């Protein structure tokens, strides 16, 4: 168990229903492996909403609006268009560097993995993009470390809502709508 997952389990007990996934199929659809801490997170928590604000995406999420594969395709297209008119973040200037979404918020901020050439997915870090603007933040942690650190107050993003996290944490698995 990764340290991020251990910390999250202290914050929110695991739901009764673990989720199993065919990761090979999802990774083939994305054209990339995914970080092991994310796969462990999905097995424990699944696609989920944290503190009534942050949604963690899941492949084949029961709530189709938070499907990781669909978000990855849509964001790749949107960002390709966006970078024709806006400057890419410095972290993406390296040839072959890209971002893949793993979470979003009620306000529309998007949280990404920064995938760099030659970096194993377990070494991917987190980037946050503001909802309707060109500001980005980079955090040199994994997605589960980012979420746990935000929830316990160790880490603060200047782009995420000042109301996140809540003082009493709320967790809900995403269900079909």
126-141: per-residue pLDDT in tens?
999 999 888 999 999 9
* Residue-by-residue DSSP string for the chain: --HHHHHHHHHSPPPS------HHHHHHHHTS---HHHHHHHHHH-SEEETTTEEE-BTT-SSGGGBHHHHHHHHHHHHHHHTTTSPPPGGG-STT-EEEEEEEETT--EEEEEE-TT--GGG-EEEEE-TTSS-EEEESS-HHHHHHHHHTTS---SSS-TT-S-SS--EEE----
2-56: per-residue pLDDT in tens?
788 999 999 999 888 778 899 999 999 999 999 999 999 999 999 999 999 999 9
User: What CATH number is attached to the domain comprising 42?
Assistant: 3.40.1580
Exposed / middle / buried, residue 92 (Cβ in 10 Å: 0-12, 13-18, 19+): buried
- Confidence at residue 174, expressed as pLDDT on a 0 to 100 scale: 93
pTM equals 0.95
Domain span at 112:
3-173
Structural domains counted in the chain: 1
């Amino acid at each position: 168990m990764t340290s991020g997952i251990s910390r999250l389990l202290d914050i929110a007990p695991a739901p009764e229903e673990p989720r199993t996934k065919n990761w090979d199929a999802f990774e083939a659809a994305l054209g990339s492996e995914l970080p092991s801490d994310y796969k462990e997170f999905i097995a424990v928590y699944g696609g989920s909403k944290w503190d009534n604000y942050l949604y963690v995406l899941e492949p084949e999420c029961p709530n189709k609006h938070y499907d990781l594969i669909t978000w990855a395709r849509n964001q790749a297209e949107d960002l390709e268009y966006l970078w024709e008119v806006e400057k890419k973040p410095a972290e993406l200037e390296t040839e072959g560097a890209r971002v893949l979404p793993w979470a979003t918020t009620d306000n529309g901020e998007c949280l990404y993995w920064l995938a760099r050439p030659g970096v194993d997915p377990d070494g991917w870090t987190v980037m946050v993009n503001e909802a309707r603007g060109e500001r980005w933040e980079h955090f040199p942690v994994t997605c589960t470390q980012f979420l746990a650190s935000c929830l316990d107050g160790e880490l603060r993003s200047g782009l995420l809502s000042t109301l996140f996290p809540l003082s009493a944490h709320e967790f809900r698995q995403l269900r079909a709508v």
